Structure formats: C-alpha cells, structure tokens
A and B are shown apart, each in its own frame.
Chain A
Amino acid sequence: MPSDSKDKRIGVFICHCGKNIAGGVDIEALLQSIRETPGVKFVAENRYSCSEDGQIDIQNAIQDQELDRVIIAACAPSLHLMTFQRCGESAGIEPSFVDLIDIRKWTMHGNPEKVDPDEALERSKKLIKQAVKRMSLKRVIPQVVVKTEPSVLVIGGGVAGLEAALDLADKGYEVNLVERLPTIGGKMALLYKVFPTNDCAPCILAPKTAYANIHPGINLLTYSEVTAVEGYIGNFSVKVTRKPRYINEDSCTGCGLCVEKCPQKVIDSVYSAGIGERKAIYIPYDLAIPKKAVIDDENCLYMKTGACRLCEDECPTDAIDFDQESRTIELKAGAIIVATGFDEYNPTEKTEYGYDRYDNVITQYQLARILDIDGPTKGKLLRPSDGKEPQNIAMIQCVGSRDENTNEYCSSICCMYALKHAQIIREMVLPDTEIYICYIDMRTAGKNFEAYYRRTRELGINFIRGRPGEIIEETDTKNLIMKVEDPDLGRLLNLEVEMVVLSCATLPSEGTEQLSGILGTALDENGFYQEVHPKLRPVETNVRGIYICGAAQGPKDIPDSIVQAKAAASCVDGELRKGEIKLPEFIVKTTGPDKEG
C-alpha cells in the first residue's frame, strides 16, 4: 500500500484520445517537458488510456516502475476519473492517489474551449505540472464505513418524481414525496392529452397518483417545501415546511360543499393558467390527489376581513381549521431525488407578439387548459375577446427558445405539443378551423414522433417554415395580422387569423435557484440542474447522493422523464442497497450530524 514517505513515485500517462488530443497538441514536446518535471518518475503515452489495453499498460507500469501515484492527462474527471481509480486500485494504488486531468478540452474539435496547438501545449504543461505538485503533497484520505438510511426524499410530485418514488417504494425504500402545490401530478395532470399516443393524461397518470396515495412506502407531503438539507449520502437530514391548508386533512372528504358556498372568486393562475376562476377555498381539480380542500389565505374573506366562515358552517365533517399554522418537520433521507420540473416562459417580453396587449394571443399551456374537457372552459375553444369560435388559428413556435435574447436552447417539447393541439382541434373541437403552424425547424425526433407529424399533415394542418416578424391587432375585429416569409414559396404571406397561440419556452421551475442553493447542487448555464456528465452520468449531480430527473435537468417530454426517473431510482438503489457505504472520513466529519465545526 502507498505510504506517506517522502520518496513519492509519480507516474504520468498522456492519452492521445485517438486524434482528439494528439491532433491538437505536440505530444512529443509535452512528453519531453513532463519527463523533465521534478518529482516525475515515469512518463508514458497511450493511444486510448481508458481502453482495456490502455488500462493494462498503466497497471503494468505501476508494477514495473513501482509507482505509488499516477496522473492521467486525458479527458474530464466527470467522464473517467472513476474508471482510472478502479484501474489504479486493482494495481494497489489508493483511489485518492489517482488523478485525471482534462487536457482534451483545449484540443478537441467542436469543444468551445479549443485553443491553438502552441497554447494547448503551454496550458497542458502547466496543468500537468500543477497536478504533479499537488499529487506529491497529497496524503492518504482515510475512508470510513457508515450506515445508510433506507429512506429517500423525492422533491417534486410530477410524473418524474412520482415514477421515481413508486420505483423506490416498490423496491422497499421509505419515500417522502414533497410537493409544493396542494396536489401531486404536476404539469402532466393538466395537459389533457399527451403525445405521441394521444391518450388522456389522467389515463396514464391517475393510476400512478392514486397508487402513490395508498402505497404504504410513500408518505405524501403536499403543499410543502424543502427548506434545509444537511448531511451526506446515506445520512441526509432534511427540514420540510408544511404550509397550512386550514383544513384537517384526515377529516376532509373532498365533498366540495365548502367550495360551493365560498363567496370569493379568484383567477386561477396555477391550475387553469389564468383562463378560469376558482374559489378562495378550493379543490384543485376533480382527480386531485389528495382530494382535499385548501384555503388560499391571501384571498379568503375571513382571513382578510375577519368575517365570513361560510365554509366552516357548511363542512359536514368539521374539517375547517382556521388556526392551522405553517410547521416544519424533520426527515432523514439516505438519498435525494430532485424532480422539480419546469414552468412555461411568460412571453410578455417578446413585445412583437403582444401577449399582454392582445386578447386573442394565448400560450400553448393556456390552450391545453382550454382544450381539457375537465378544464376551465370544459373543452370549448372560444376567442377570449368575443367568445366566438375562431375560424383560423396561427401557432408560433420557438417563442423564447432558440433566441439569444431570451433562452438560447431548444425547448424540445414545443413542436410536439403544437402538433398535438392542432390534432385535437382538428379532430375533436373545431374541424373546420384552419390552423397555421409557423415554425423554424420541425423537431420530431422521438420514437413514433415522425409518424405523429405525418398524421398531423394528413389532417390538413398548414405548416409555414417561417417566423412572423410581429403581430398587429385589427382594432375592430380583434383579429391578428402578421407577415411571415414562406421560403418554400419564396414569397411573403400576409396572414390574418382570429387567434394566435405562442409555443413558449420551457424554463426551470420557479424556485430552482433557491432549492439548488439549499442542496448545494450546481445549475447549468440555462438554470437547469447540472448533470455530472451529459452522456454517461445524466442523473447524478455534483453532490453524491443527490440525483435529478425530468424537466428539472433540462426540457424533456414524458417518455424521457420516466426514463430518467427510473435511472435516478436505480442510482439511489445502487448506493443504498448494501445499507452501508464507504466514504472519505472528512465528508462524514464535516457534513454529518457529528460534524466538527
């Protein structure tokens, strides 16, 4: 085993990575320079260090040269550090004495950090020399074995969080599912139908929400937020604040009598996207889980003025409790899964589309609520300005997406939901209404998605490969006029329609930044949770034991969210199933319950 002796034997391995590194830096010059670096006992190059042959070469060198520390200069640690630590461990080297440093980012074509070969050589030399110095100063990091909690905290009760929770509960873990809203089901519950199969969202989701509600392994904590997290993998301690519903959940039967009596109407910006109203006491929707009433304390007459309490008189089970207060509970968790989903971009700042000025410009999420037969309009599609059925509708894609002024990324789901809404309108709501979809690229890359696009064309929907410059409202008719270039025709189209639907970007859900601060997890440049590696470790975060899935990691559809949820659940199970885990001692000492300052 490696010792702490002064005579450290450091070996450096420089990887060609095919031509990714060798094509962008003078390997000979780099080898020469490292060979002359004080403290380096051995230098070698590999064509592919991570391959089986490459690893055997490293292990042989460790034996032959009696190396006790190795540095591999290749790709990012997030990609292969664990690979090389395993490789070193089999040859008798402590994992903390194996280091992987990334010199490939400066040489690989397509990498935004690529520099010219001279610069790459200088930077690589410098980085390797720093690593050698660091390695020579390193001491053994003592490892300890600690017990792990067989429980998991899932944050977010949408389809991704539910799937992860159910998977883990079925595996035998105790799951606490925390949801900020009064009901689980997330955005999906409000989408009416879901592509590419067009089954109604409740058909797919309701069995999951219902099962989660009765599953003995799942504890639902709705209308609650995570406010503090401490600890480390296997031993997180979590504070959850439960907002007051002012309803005794155990007594409430969800009969809805209180809602009928309540005199206070409020625009419902959450469950009907501002299209419909609810009362100050409300049950979010018919299939809500849990189906319990909740009092909105900002709008309740009694809370505001001290008079009313009609709901209290009406409730047959005396479930109303105006004295409830917010309370904080503490939970243990072996691991945490973050599934906090997304919010729709508010297109007001795209002033050219007049979302806040024109009555008949709405968003796709609003349209989804309108088309829902259980939604605020019971599935009737009428113009907001005059309540008439629109004879023609234009949909504008990529509003706030693929746009350097707002969000540069592709929101990935908008093409498909626009197609879905066009299909629903044509087949089930207003068959004679002409629909124009103005798009930049039609991205239908998922399984069976191309057939879905073809089917939409079959229905006679008009596709225009252009983005309208701006929308002008005709003052008398409230119709919307826009110019859009049709490159297939090579001419400008002057499009006048009775309604416009904006396919808005997918944003990280509100509160993501705050929660990531509590969790200590990194966010990417667009504000979504940052995975360790986009291909190899897509659901792990920089904090071991905290995993991400669904749209919290980046815009994605339901099939992909489910896949990630299952992946995250599998990661959790992989870490917790032994009941104990080996960790560096300093982590246990500095972040655990018995931490030393």
Chain B
Amino acid sequence: MKPDDIPEDMPEDIPEDMPENISGDDSEETVQVPNLDPAFKYEVMRNEGAGGLKYCFACGACTASCPIHEIDHGFDPRKLARMVQLGMKDEVLSSPLIWYCSACRNCEQHCPQSVEFFNILNVLKNMAAEKGYAPYAWVVQTRHLMRTGMVFRTDEAWETRRKALSLPPLQLDGEKVRELIELSGLDELIVKKRP
C-alpha cells in the first residue's frame, strides 16, 4: 500500500457524535438464546491461549481485580466471558468494551481456573477487527502510523516546542513501519467497513 492509497485519518463513516455512554449497550433486554451462536465459544477457544474459557465458572475474581472495571463498570470480564460462552457473538464483537483492557493481567493472576482472559480478549479483538469493528481511534492511529511512522499527528506548535528544547525536527519515514504492518496483515483491517 502506497502512502497515497491510505485513507484519510478520519474515516468518512465516523458518527458525528460519539455516544456519551462509551461503554456501550447496557441493554436490559432478554437474551434470545435460540438466536445465539453456540459454536462461537469453540471458534474462540480454538485459538492459542484461549482454550481456558471452557473452565470459567463465573466466580467473578477477574472482575473484582480489574482496574478498568473500577473506573467503568461497563467493562466486566466475567460478563464478557459469559457472553462468549452463551454464543452472543454479534453483541460481543460489536461491543466497544473488548477494547478497554489495559493488559495488566490481574484477572489471570487471580483466576482459580487459570483462564487467560487477556488472550481471550485478543482473540475477540482480532475477530472484531476482521468484521470492521475496530475502534475509530485505533483505525485513525494505525493509518497515521502507516503514513508517517508516528502514532500521533504533529503540528507546527509541536515543532516550535521541539525547537525551543533544542531538539531536531521530526523527519520520520513511514516506509519501514509500513512494511511491518503489511507483513502482519494489519493494513487490511484498517480499511474494513462496519456492517
């Protein structure tokens, strides 16, 4: 992918207003089990490091030790594990929640059944990105990274501050980074559209 082929930083389909409750759907709606996908859990567990999910008996030690849950109760590892077990595929993959994890792995430390929840989340994130559910912020950053080799956008003020600190101007070439990204297949994920 040439730099000019990379889409603009801001995807066109980004909603004008992000929802205020960013932890997403707090639905109280009844789950219609017949509409779920019982094979989803196997799809997830097939992946390296995610097989422990089958042992989860929903004790909640993960949620109780999660620093993200403390800040935003919407992020609840036990609930997410449960949703996967029951086969709530669409709801899980489209949920912004799966991207909240800070990778501290407290949950894994405390899990009595050795479920590696961080690995499970990674599997879910990959599946979600394949479907175009990657968060916009991540898409924007990755696109920018590919174009400039930098995660953050820089501007004149930035350069002025660097100059004041006697730092040289930033002149990065995104080429090497782009090669790596293309090797990993990440470039294909950043152009996926949400269903």
Knowing A488-B78, A489-B86, say if A483 contacts B30 (CB, 8 Å). yes
Alpha-carbon distance A465/B56, docked complex (angstroms): 13
Most A CB atoms within 10 A — which of B32, B41, B56, B86? B86
Knowing A457-B54, A457-B55, A458-B54, say if A494 contacts B82 (CB, 8 Å). no
Q: Which residue of B lies closest to A392 (CB)?
A: B38
Q: Is the CB of A486 within 8 A of B31?
A: yes
B34 within 8 A of A: yes
Most B CB atoms within 10 A — which of A462, A491, A494? A491
Q: Is the CB of B86 within 8 A of A462?
A: yes
Alpha-carbon distance A323/B156, docked complex (angstroms): 114
Interface positions, chain A 423-481, Cβ under 8 Å from B, are 434, 436, 442, 454, 457-460, 462-463, 465
B9-33 Cβ-contact flags toward A at 8 Å (1 or 0):
0000000000000000001111111
Q: Is the CB of B58 within 8 A of A465?
A: yes
Knowing A434-B38, A462-B85, A462-B86, say if A491 contacts B54 (CB, 8 Å). no
B177 within 8 A of A: no
A496 within 8 A of B: yes
In the complex, how many residues of chain A place their beta carbon closer than 8 angstroms to a beta carbon of chain B? Answer: 23
Q: Is the CB of A494 within 8 A of B54?
A: no
Q: Which residue of B lies closest to A436 (CB)?
A: B33
Q: Which residue of A lies closest to B63 (CB)?
A: A488
Q: Is the CB of B79 within 8 A of A492?
A: no
Q: Is the CB of A494 within 8 A of B33?
A: yes
B166 to chain A, nearest CB (A): 56
Determine chain A's interface SS by DSSP, over half rule: strand
Chain A residues closer than 8 Å to B99, beta-carbon distance: none
Chain B residues closer than 8 Å to A373, beta-carbon distance: none
Contact of B54 among A434, A460, A483, A492 (CB under 8 A): A460
Q: Is the CB of A492 within 8 A of B58?
A: no
Chain A residues closer than 8 Å to B58, beta-carbon distance: 463, 465, 488
Q: Which residue of A lies closest to B83 (CB)?
A: A489
Alpha-carbon distance A454/B83, docked complex (angstroms): 19
Q: Is the CB of A492 within 8 A of B31?
A: yes
Chain A residues closer than 8 Å to B85, beta-carbon distance: 462
Chain B residues closer than 8 Å to A457, beta-carbon distance: 54-57
Interface positions, chain B 45-67, Cβ under 8 Å from A, are 54-58, 60
Alpha-carbon distance A490/B83, docked complex (angstroms): 11
Q: Is the CB of A463 within 8 A of B57?
A: yes
Knowing A434-B38, A462-B85, say if A491 contacts B31 (CB, 8 Å). yes
B51 to chain A, nearest CB (A): 9
B42 within 8 A of A: yes
B76-100 Cβ-contact flags toward A at 8 Å (1 or 0):
0011001101100000000000000
Alpha-carbon distance A493/B31, docked complex (angstroms): 5
Chain B residues closer than 8 Å to A488, beta-carbon distance: 58, 60, 78-79, 82
B21 to chain A, nearest CB (A): 16
Q: Is the CB of A491 within 8 A of B42?
A: no
Alpha-carbon distance A460/B79, docked complex (angstroms): 17
B13 to chain A, nearest CB (A): 30
Q: Is the CB of B33 within 8 A of A491?
A: no
Q: Is the CB of B30 within 8 A of A494?
A: yes
Chain A residues closer than 8 Å to B38, beta-carbon distance: 392, 434, 462
Q: Which residue of A lies closest to B56 (CB)?
A: A457
Chain A residues closer than 8 Å to B54, beta-carbon distance: 457-460
Chain A residues closer than 8 Å to B31, beta-carbon distance: 486, 489, 491-494
Q: Which residue of A lies closest to B58 (CB)?
A: A488
A495 within 8 A of B: yes
Q: Is the CB of B79 within 8 A of A493?
A: no
Q: Is the CB of B55 within 8 A of A491?
A: no
Alpha-carbon distance A494/B141, docked complex (angstroms): 41
Interface positions, chain A 486-514, Cβ under 8 Å from B, are 486, 488-496
Knowing A458-B54, A460-B41, A460-B42, say if A491 contacts B27 (CB, 8 Å). yes
Chain A residues closer than 8 Å to B57, beta-carbon distance: 442, 457, 463
A223 to chain B, nearest CB (A): 46
Chain A residues closer than 8 Å to B55, beta-carbon distance: 454, 457-458
Alpha-carbon distance A436/B85, docked complex (angstroms): 11
A549 to chain B, nearest CB (A): 34
A286 to chain B, nearest CB (A): 37
B148-190 Cβ-contact flags toward A at 8 Å (1 or 0):
0000000000000000000000000000000000000000000
Q: Is the CB of B32 within 8 A of A494?
A: yes
Q: Is the CB of A496 within 8 A of B33?
A: yes
Q: Which residue of B lies closest to A461 (CB)?
A: B54
Q: Which residue of B lies closest to A464 (CB)?
A: B86
Most B CB atoms within 10 A — which of A392, A436, A457, A458? A457
Contact of B33 among A442, A460, A495 (CB under 8 A): A495
Chain A residues closer than 8 Å to B27, beta-carbon distance: 491
Chain B residues closer than 8 Å to A494, beta-carbon distance: 30-34
Q: Which residue of A lies closest to B59 (CB)?
A: A488
Alpha-carbon distance A492/B33, docked complex (angstroms): 10
B89 to chain A, nearest CB (A): 14
Q: Which residue of B lies closest to A483 (CB)?
A: B30
Q: Which residue of A lies closest to B85 (CB)?
A: A462
A1 to chain B, nearest CB (A): 63
Q: Is the CB of B30 within 8 A of A489?
A: no
Alpha-carbon distance A89/B7, docked complex (angstroms): 99
Alpha-carbon distance A457/B55, docked complex (angstroms): 6
Alpha-carbon distance A552/B25, docked complex (angstroms): 53
Q: Which residue of A lies closest to B79 (CB)?
A: A489
Contact of A496 among B29, B34, B86 (CB under 8 A): B34
Knowing A457-B54, A458-B54, A463-B57, say if A491 contacts B29 (CB, 8 Å). yes
Contact of A489 among B34, B41, B82, B113 (CB under 8 A): B82
Give 3 closest A-B pairs by Cβ, nearest first. A488-B58, A492-B30, A496-B34
What are 22 A-B pairs with beta-carbon distances under 8 A?
Answer: A436-B33, A457-B54, A457-B55, A457-B57, A459-B54, A462-B86, A465-B58, A486-B82, A486-B86, A488-B58, A488-B60, A489-B31, A489-B86, A490-B79, A491-B28, A492-B30, A493-B30, A493-B31, A493-B33, A494-B33, A495-B33, A496-B34
Chain B residues within 8 Å of A, Cβ to Cβ: 27-34, 38, 41-42, 54-58, 60, 78-79, 82-83, 85-86, 113
Known contacts A459-B54, A486-B82, A490-B79; can you find 8 more A-B pairs with CB under 8 A?
A436-B33, A462-B38, A489-B79, A491-B27, A491-B28, A491-B30, A493-B30, A496-B33
